[in-house]
Amino acid sequence: MDFELWHIWLLIALILFIMEIFVPSFILFNFGIGALVGSLAAGVNLPLEWQIVFFSFGTLLSFFLVRPVMKKYAYKRTAGFRSNADAMVGRQAIVTDPINNVENRGLVSLDGDTWKARSVDNDEIPKGSVVEIIQLNSIILTVKKVN
């Protein structure tokens, strides 16, 4: 079986689409669309120069038409969505080592992880108390006791 030029364009497009899975920037996908357009140009036996022109035109067109739409819908965030460290603020934890700001002591347990903790109002909080996380500063949680 002989490979024709449109096969090569199609293979390039497929490789670019697969690579886009691992690079979440939605750029390689646009080049893949351009390669598909180049494959169509090769399929109708246009010269290589015109195939490159069609590839460039298809890529630019997808950058300006497809990419903004996909970024709007594919990377849509819901209002109030928090992740990573921001998701800890407002949650409740259990004090595993009494919190005392003066002695620089205090640990809390949250989701099976132990975190260093400080009281927001310099109160001593005994072991076993339930606290609410107010702020995260690096690896130290600022907490207040829940009544």
Q: DSSP assignment, residue 125?
A: B
pLDDT for 50: 95
Considering the entire predicted model, what is its pTM?
Answer: 0.52
Structural contact between residues 96 and 137, judged by C-beta atoms closer than 8 angstroms: no
Q: Which residues of the chain fall below pLDDT 70? A: 1, 75-85
| Long-range contacts of residues 12-17, Cβ cutoff 8 Å, at least 24 apart | 12/38, 13/39
- Which class for 25: exposed (0-12), middle (13-18), buried (19 or more C-beta within 10 A)? exposed
Distance CA 10, CA 57 (A): 16
pLDDT for 80: 62
> What structural domains and CATH numbers belong to the chain?
5-74 (no CATH), 84-145 (2.40.50.140)
